[in-house]
Amino acid sequence: MSQKSVLVTGAGGFIGFHLVNYLKNRGYKVRAVDIKDPEYQASSADEFRILDLREIDDCREAVRGMDEVYNLAADMGGIGYISGAHASITYNNTMISAQMLKAAHDAKVERFLFSSSACVYPQHLQDVPSVVPLKEEDAFPADPEPGYGLEKLYTEKLCQYFTEDYGFQTRLVRFHNVYGPLGTYDGGKEKAPAAICRKIARAKSGDTIEVWGDGKQTRSFMYIDDCVEGIYRIMRSDYSRPLNLGTDELVDVSGLVDIIAEIAGKTILKRFNTNRPQGVRGRNSDNSRLREVLGWEPLIHLRQGLIPTYAWIEGQVTAGGAERQAVIEPIPRVAAQ
Ligand code: NAD
Ligand code: GDD
């Protein structure tokens, strides 16, 4: 068991919360930082500090005495959110990312992991549902998702320059759409799996729910347990170039609704609304490099991961769901080396 001290920023959010649990289970001393407390449960971190990482003094306080930094803090949401607030998202994330990197380097942190996104990939490579899976080198020539994706791509480069010029150890992870229990499911920042779980949990069998787009757009979705396992393995690797972290199980949005309806045991009708945000037409992860570097890739199938996700969201929105969610077994996973 390691006694290293590690910082997780964004630990009041979805992935950061789960990552803190994972690292605690592996014996790390964990400092958690966020601008807000976790929404649904108390953090298992050794200390939880409320700081605003757009401020350099707060970044310096966050990294003080830390051996490693997992920088997950960001102004972030599903396609409805990130396509509607370019100025604030780009400004907030630029300030957080650049200053956390600088503060971590100045504090002589050993390793710094930056949470990037599949939104860095060029939009013209994602304009059909039967999309060719995206390889890391496809990111240039650049044409990323405006605002949010542009900042992620720029910060990847900034990390790379710190590695090249100063020998600072950075790790760059491009997440593909992550879902699971304790993920935002309402309020405007939710992504498709959680939004659809919520709509179906609130519906009666035979009801119609609104689905954004025509339902033919495609994505791959990664369960949170695979996500934190992959983050940890990438941090421990010696690979400092960008890496996809996602599954290559492609599904269209209409199919996603069908899987969740079947898990819920409800007949659900769909009203497609093409006036709502849709993002890219198709997106999938090419995991060749991930397999090459780690000898591992996300393993949990979509249907398998949606069972506990739906149970948790149902528990949040309906009476009685909470009891059912309590009996759901964790999905077995392969331990990291
Ligand atoms: P999240 O919104 O649940 O968590 C992000 C956390 O960052 C939030 O708790 C938020 O309060 C915190 N934060 C925002 N501004 C801050 C500030 N100024 N100071 C301190 N904390 C601040 O999102 P998540 O899904 O857990 O995402 C974590 C990281 O992974 C983000 O960098 C995100 O861009 C990236 N990512 C996530 C996905 C996904 O599908 N969830 C996909 C691609 C990339
Ligand atoms: N959010 C949401 N809510 N999306 C819906 C809904 C709904 O009720 N119904 C259908 N969709 C469709 C959207 O129109 C989109 O085409 C698809 O589901 C996926 O939407 P999101 O999950 O919101 O986002 P995304 O996949 O386009 O982008 C997300 O993943 C990136 C990484 O792969 C975002 O969360 C980005 O921030 C993230 O970086």
Q: How many residues does the chain have?
A: 337
> Cα(217)–Cα(284) distance, rounded to whole angstroms?
11
Phi and psi torsions of 170, nearest 5°: -120, 155
Look up residue 154 and give its two tokens.
Answer: 């720029």
> Cα(112)–Cα(101) distance, rounded to whole angstroms?
7
Look up residue 143 and give its two tokens.
Answer: 């044409």
At 268 the pLDDT is: 98
Non-local (6+) Cβ contacts of 275 within 8 A are: none
Q: Is 30 in the pocket of ligand 2 (CB under 6 A)?
A: no
The percent of residues above 70 in pLDDT, for the chain, comes to 94
> Cα(16)–Cα(9) distance, rounded to whole angstroms?
7
Q: Is the pLDDT assigned to residue 2 strictly greater than 70?
A: no
Strand partners, 270: 209
Identify the DSSP state of 124. Answer: G
Q: Is 48 in the pocket of ligand 1 (CB under 6 A)?
A: no
Identify the DSSP state of 213. Answer: B
Q: Which ligand is nearest to the CA of 58?
A: 1
> Cα(331)–Cα(23) distance, rounded to whole angstroms?
18
Average pLDDT over residues 130-136: 96
Q: Is 6 in the pocket of ligand 1 (CB under 6 A)?
A: no
> Cα(56)–Cα(77) distance, rounded to whole angstroms?
24
Determine which residue's CA is closest to atom 2 belonging to ligand 2: 192
At 29 the pLDDT is: 98
* DSSP track, 23-75: HHHTT-EEEEEESS--SSS---SSEEEE--TTSHHHHHHHHTT-SEEEE----
Residue 86, SS3 per DSSP:
helix
Average pLDDT over residues 47-57: 98
At 3 the pLDDT is: 86
Domains and CATH numbers, the chain: 5-178+223-245 (3.40.50.720), 180-219+250-283+302-326 (3.90.25.10)
Average pLDDT over residues 218-239: 98
List the one residue out of 241, 274, 242 whose CA is nearest residue 119: 242
Average pLDDT over residues 203-222: 98
Determine which residue's CA is closest to atom 16 belonging to ligand 2: 278
Residue 279, SS3 per DSSP:
coil
Determine which residue's CA is closest to atom 44 belonging to ligand 1: 117
Determine which residue's CA is closest to atom 19 belonging to ligand 2: 192
How crowded is residue 143: how many other Cβ atoms within 10 Å of its Cβ? Answer: 17
170-186 tens-digit pLDDT:
999 999 999 999 999 99
Q: Separation of 91 CA from ligand 1 center, angstroms?
A: 14
Q: Which residue has the tokens 């969610």?
A: 325
> Cα(226)–Cα(61) distance, rounded to whole angstroms?
30
Identify the DSSP state of 134. Answer: B
Give ipTM to 2 decimals: 0.99
239 is annotated as an active-site residue: no
Q: Is 119 in the pocket of ligand 2 (CB under 6 A)?
A: yes
Among the options 22, 28, 81, 148, which is catalytic?
148
At 331 the pLDDT is: 64
Q: Is the pLDDT assigned to residue 326 strictly greater than 60?
A: no
